[in-house]
Amino acid sequence: MGSSFGTVFRTTTFGESHGAGVGAVVDGCPAGISISLTEIQAQLERRRPGQSRLTTPRQEGDEVEILSGVEAGLSLGTPIGLLVRNLNQKPGDYRQMANIPRPSHADYSYRMKYGVNSLSGGGRASARETLARVAAGSVAEQFLRSRFGVEIIAWVSQVGEVTFELPEAELEQLSRSAVDAAAVRCPDPDKAALMTAAIEKAAAEKDSLGGVISCVCRKVPAGWGEPVFDKLDALLAQAMISIPAAKGFMLGSGFAGAAMSGSRHNDRFLKDGDRLTTATNFSGGVQGGISNGQLINFKVAFKPVPTIGKVQETVDYEGNQVLLKGKGRHDPCVLPRAVPIVEAMAALTLADLALRQRGNSLF
Ligand SMILES: Cc1cc2nc3c(=O)[nH]c(=O)nc-3n(C[C@H](O)[C@H](O)[C@H](O)COP(=O)(O)O)c2cc1C
């Protein structure tokens, strides 16, 4: 249970980090959508470890195969099977941990739940699972873009204590190439340099850092979201918080709105041709759980990576004091690699709600 996301556009991911492979089955993608394998692979490259000196040097090929559901570049309307075979299995890196639950990782809670642990570096809790989301999310994104013109762009807006706020006026123009100009995936060169330095310092100290990813979804039509439990913002929050190490979600003004007065916070309506727009967008493009046609913008906070090279005092499963030193090849900061994961989860959420809205409008 718990490995599927979406109701009509439904994605199931499978695979352990050091098993034979990781993949996804995407059921419910409409027929006749142009699906590019190259585009799926390009998003996987942005998630892949070893892509820059800021990420773990662990090399994983991450070559995706489409097993079913797409022929001659077009979706058939049948389940789309996506598979990435694992080539870089090093369960030995994790053997030391077999009897020691890593602090703030998922070893202890997985053992309490299942009674057994995957000896393969986190099993389903490993971020390797997220490559399946990125592959499926690219399919969703290709559907959303071709049918509705939707664009989804995420970027790193905080690493440790270094923050970057993209001016609102630039939300309409920001591109993935501007985000990717720096390996840290912050579109501001000065802040990118500070973030890079912070990650390098943490890595040198065998420590790790967290941060924040911001995301904007453009050209989402008004009307997507299913009150009352499957509101667009509620499903986005679920989607984002399901990403490993994601600990906070906020839409629009988020927690800052709590300190504002209604007269300042209300997004006053304006006439815009034959429809309405709003003068401000503190709502983040969602009102009553339904998109209102404005930019959807949100932030996701990530905690520092739990596995660190620094020695940590902890206890093993029997309660004996141990000094744990993270072995293996871990990220000092997951933020740059998590950008395509946030985009993928946004695309999976929106694709599902787009199809659910089509069901509503039959009546
Ligand atoms: C892209 C990405 C890469 C990650 N890499 C590592 C890693 O190398 N080592 C590690 O301990 N945790 C890593 N994590 C975080 C763990 O997967 C996560 O902390 C763990 O599953 C426990 O889940 P929780 O933090 O959500 O409670 C990564 C997360 C993401 C999104």
In tens, the pLDDT along 27-64 reads: 999 999 999 999 999 999 999 988 877 877 666 679 99
DSSP string, 158-182: EETTEE----GGGTTT--HHHHTTS
Residue 246 alpha carbon, nearest atom of ligand 1: 26
CA of 303 to the centre of ligand 1 (A): 9
Measured from the Cβ of residue 35, the count of other Cβ atoms closer than 10 Å reads 22
pLDDT score of 359 = 81
The domain limits of the chain are: 4-360
Residue-wise pLDDT tens digits, 218-265: 999 999 999 999 999 999 999 999 999 999 999 999 999 999 999 999
CA distance 23 to 27: 13
Q: Omega into 8 within 30° of 0, i.e. cis?
A: no
What's the topology of domain 4-360? Chorismate synthase, AroC fold (3.60.150)
CA distance 335 to 213: 7
pLDDT score of 329 = 67
pLDDT score of 18 = 78
Residue-wise pLDDT tens digits, 118-128: 665 567 898 99
Residue 122 alpha carbon, nearest atom of ligand 1: 21
Q: Which residues line ligand 1 (CB under 6 A)?
A: 56, 105-106, 122, 125-127, 130, 243-245, 303, 305-307, 330-331, 334, 337-338, 341
The contacts of residue 132 (CB under 8 Å, 6+ apart) are 13, 14, 15, 22, 23, 24, 82, 84
* pTM (predicted TM-score): 0.96
| Average predicted confidence (pLDDT) for the chain | 93
CA distance 340 to 208: 20
pLDDT greater than 80 at residue 97: no
CA of 241 to the centre of ligand 1 (A): 12
Using the structure block, give the residue that is written with the tokens 């995936």. 185
pLDDT greater than 70 at residue 90: no
Residue 105 alpha carbon, nearest atom of ligand 1: 22
Tokens encoding 115: 């009674």
Work out the pLDDT band at 88, boundaries 50, 70, 90.
low
- Run of H or E residues at 84: strand 80-85
The contacts of residue 258 (CB under 8 Å, 6+ apart) are none
pLDDT score of 250 = 98
